[in-house]
Amino acid sequence: MTANLNIVGLTREVYKGLPTTLCAGCGHNSITNHLIKALYEYGVEPHKLAKMSGIGCSSKTPAYFVEQAHGFNGLHGRMPSAATGAKLANRELLVLGISGDGDTASIGLGQYCHMIRRNLDCTYIVENNGCYGLTKGQFSATADIGSTLKGGKANEYATIDICGLAIELGATFVARSFSGDGKQLVPLLQAAFSHRGTAILDVISPCVTFNDHEGSTKSYAYVKDHDVVLHTADYIAGGREINVDYEPGTVRDVELEDGSHVLLRKVDMDYNPADAINALRTIHETRDRGEFVTGLLFIDTKERDLCEREHLARTPLAQLDEEVLRIDRDEWQRLMQP
């Protein structure tokens, strides 16, 4: 195996997609690059990847990575349902959903909530820029109160906190990060792929065209000044030796369902991502200070995912034929007794 092949024998090139058609400097493009790195290093087999999205700038990005994989660019806010169907049809797929803040927090809020409630096994990334890009800069529901539009108009309405809501709904993996922080985001993405259940990644991703001005709380400048980093993260694939030097008490080791680990190295405070109440408190307190907190906010590796709760067969449902699915003639005769 040469140095540039990953564990499934593929080069990083394979994980690339078509050239982006988003604006130069868009946070989403950075996320795409982090995704390419994460998928390549993780060793996802392209044919097992299902790239799902709704509508919006964010939802275009599945075209920009792993061109070989199947992609599904569905309806605005309605990707979680399609992702649910795809996963139920073939549970061997690694379902990766890419959404935006309008797609998730407004038109798709219902489907977002119910995906979490069912604990659908998927990675769900919200590329969160606080505004609608394709329709030219209207506020989204994740805009902070007092944040202004390019023309100066201030948002009067409460923000919907995607992470806080997810925890409240019983989400089993909730992380927040910043498109400019690949060092933190890449291992969080890999941990999300390993997690069995819905993994929410709320990634603040500035819109350079409509929401990068003074007065915006989702601009590059603002985000860099107000990012409260809980921890840096390292992802250690299952079966590999954990060989990281750290002082006792500075790192939390979270073991994921597939035997992999994510190591969280604390920055300022000790943070326990298994404590949902503390996670909510941290989200509230940082938001009240005009800051936003990044890192693995909450994880629960014990809860069963949708396929387990439904006792789904190991063989993908899509592959079952009439031999398996039809009842036999004798039983049919019994059913048809007048």
- Binding residues (CB under 8 A) for other proteins: these are 45-48, 50, 52, 62-63, 66-75, 78-90, 92-93, 110-111, 113-114, 118, 307, 310-314, 316-322, 324-327, 329, 331-332, 335-338
Q: Which of 214/330 has CB closer to other proteins?
A: 330
Q: Which of 67/255 has CB closer to other proteins?
A: 67
Q: How far is the CB of 68 from other proteins (least distance, A)?
A: 5
Alpha-carbon gap, residue 216 to 328, rounded angstroms: 65
- CB-side neighbour CA atoms (13 Å) of 19: 3
Contact 61, 91 (CB under 8 A): no
Alpha-carbon gap, residue 207 to 132, rounded angstroms: 9
Q: Which of 89/221 has CB closer to other proteins?
A: 89
Contact 81, 61 (CB under 8 A): no
Q: How far is the CB of 231 from other proteins (least distance, A)?
A: 34
Alpha-carbon gap, residue 301 to 121, rounded angstroms: 12
Buried b or exposed e, range 121-146, using 16+ CB within 10 angstroms: bbbbbbbbbbbbbeeeeebbbbbbee
AA identity, residue 330:
D
Neighbours of 286 (CB within 10 A): 18
Q: Which of 69/223 has CB closer to other proteins?
A: 69
Q: Which of 90/148 has CB closer to other proteins?
A: 90
Which letter does DSSP use for residue 172 in this model?
A: S
Buried b or exposed e, range 61-88, using 16+ CB within 10 angstroms: bbbbbbbebebbbbebbbbbbbbbebbb
Q: Which of 52/163 has CB closer to other proteins?
A: 52
Angle (nearest 5°) at CA 161 between 291 and 107: 140
Backbone angles phi, psi at 33, to 5 degrees: -65, -40
Q: How far is the CB of 94 from other proteins (least distance, A)?
A: 10
Chain-centroid distance, C-alpha 330: 48
Q: How far is the CB of 112 from other proteins (least distance, A)?
A: 10
Q: How far is the CB of 290 from other proteins (least distance, A)?
A: 34
Contact 230, 271 (CB under 8 A): yes
Q: How far is the CB of 58 from other proteins (least distance, A)?
A: 15
Q: How far is the CB of 40 from other proteins (least distance, A)?
A: 15
Could you tell me where the beta strands, DSSP code E, fall in 129-197? 131-132, 138-139, 173-178
Q: Which of 134/229 has CB closer to other proteins?
A: 134
Q: Which of 246/332 has CB closer to other proteins?
A: 332
Q: Which of 3/327 has CB closer to other proteins?
A: 327
Q: How far is the CB of 278 from other proteins (least distance, A)?
A: 29
Q: How far is the CB of 239 from other proteins (least distance, A)?
A: 23
- CB-side neighbour CA atoms (13 Å) of 152: 0
